[in-house]
A and B are shown apart, each in its own frame.
Chain A
Amino acid sequence: MLRALSRSPAPVVSLLSPRAAVLVETVRGRKSRTDPKAKSKLGRIKTPPPVDPGEMVVLKQRYTEYSLILRALRLEFKEQMLRKKYEEEVGSVAEERAKREEEEHRSLMALNDAENLRMREIREQRMQQEAEAAELKKRDADILRQQELENYIKEKERHILLLQEEAKDFITPENLDQRIEEALDNPKNYNFAIDKEGRVVKRTAFQR
């Protein structure tokens, strides 16, 4: 067995020594540095587990093979996942997606524009109708105002004519003497009553 060992190129020590145990950093546990050793453990000598050299060699070879295969598989799968993720985000899939989304966006914007146009037509019609109604109302108001003005002027003219008529009877400095004499000559008697039908009653009951 030793001859077979010396033929292999790998150094003997690494073949014989057991696999490196899992690296565990020294953990203190419950006791601190200054606590004494337990009474039951005073005479204890810690011995590592016994190792069979032949078994160790075979096992080591097998384990290296096994871990090689497993690591290869693991990295293979990881690479697949990473590639898929890359394609998703940065590669061809993403580009196609962006293009598709842009097309959709454009079509939706076209839809929106059509809708806006439709609303605009409706609104313009409505504005037109409102403008027409306002125009009509304005014209009517104008006519009314005109008529009012004319009525007012007519009224004022009538008043002036009435006044002119009355002016003939006015007492002026020239008529003064004449009118005084007239008034003195014709005394007027206001002592009469009038009932609801308008009949004048000259006979009075009370006379001073």
Chain B
Amino acid sequence: MPMKGRFPIRRTLEFLQKGETVFKKSVQIMTVNYNTHGDLSEGARKFVFFNIPQIQYKNPWVQIMMFKNMTPSPFLRFYLDDGEQVLVDVEGKDYKEITNHVKMILGKSDKVLEAEALAKMELSNPANFGPKKYFLRECFSEVEGQVPHPGFVPLPKEMTGKYRAKLAAGSDE
């Protein structure tokens, strides 16, 4: 399948998962106003081109809207839960600076993210067995090194019950 678009790497999972900005729960809408021409809007354009897909991937429930050529200078606007609007001026900034700034003011900090990841891990204990949908393994025979299920691999004759019974009966006689 041919690659689509100018920088098809933007469509890869690896690139999307590299995004670090996870917004706080209070952020509902993000709006980007920028211009298609002009030096001062260059950073904003690059931000929209490269970083917006990453942000949307990490925050699927945040609505992101882009407006082109509506104002002379570019800016970002965030609309929070309680009606507060946060304005971020972006004129002349580099796209990396913009990402860092946004992450600092409205993103979850590294500590919080780690705590959340830990809590999520605690829910799925690998020591539990059950349906494949919820747990890793269903039966202990699926673990490497254990006796496999006789349904898939027949047991060696010495371990079967009827052979042992025959032996016992033979030795009794």
Chain A contact residues, CB within 8 Å of chain B: 108-109, 111-112, 115-116, 119-120, 122-123
Contact = CB atoms under 8 A, between A and B. Distances in A.
Interface of B: 73, 86-89, 91-93, 101, 104-106
Nearest to B80: A105
A108 B105 contact: yes
Contact of A109 (B73, B86, B91, B101): B86
A112 B73 CA distance: 17
Nearest to A107: B105
Contacts of A108: 104-106
A99 to B, nearest CB: 15
A111 B89 contact: no
Given A116-B87, A116-B89, 7 more contacts: A108-B106, A112-B105, A115-B88, A116-B88, A119-B91, A119-B92, A123-B89
A19 B105 CA distance: 65
26 contacts: A108-B104, A108-B105, A108-B106, A109-B86, A109-B105, A111-B104, A111-B105, A112-B87, A112-B88, A112-B101, A112-B105, A115-B88, A115-B89, A115-B101, A116-B87, A116-B88, A116-B89, A119-B89, A119-B91, A119-B92, A119-B93, A120-B89, A122-B92, A123-B73, A123-B89, A123-B91
Contacts, number: 27
B158 to A, nearest CB: 29
A115 B93 CA distance: 12
Contacts of B91: 119, 123
A116 B78 CA distance: 14
- Of B91, B93, B101, B105, the most chain A CB neighbours within 10 A belong to B105
A103 to B, nearest CB: 14
A158 B73 CA distance: 54
A112 B105 CA distance: 7
Nearest to B106: A108
Contacts of A115: 88-89, 101
Contacts of B86: 109, 112
A22 B129 CA distance: 24
Contacts of B101: 112, 115
B154 to A, nearest CB: 23
Contacts of A116: 87-89
A146 B105 CA distance: 56
A89 to B, nearest CB: 13
Nearest to B102: A112
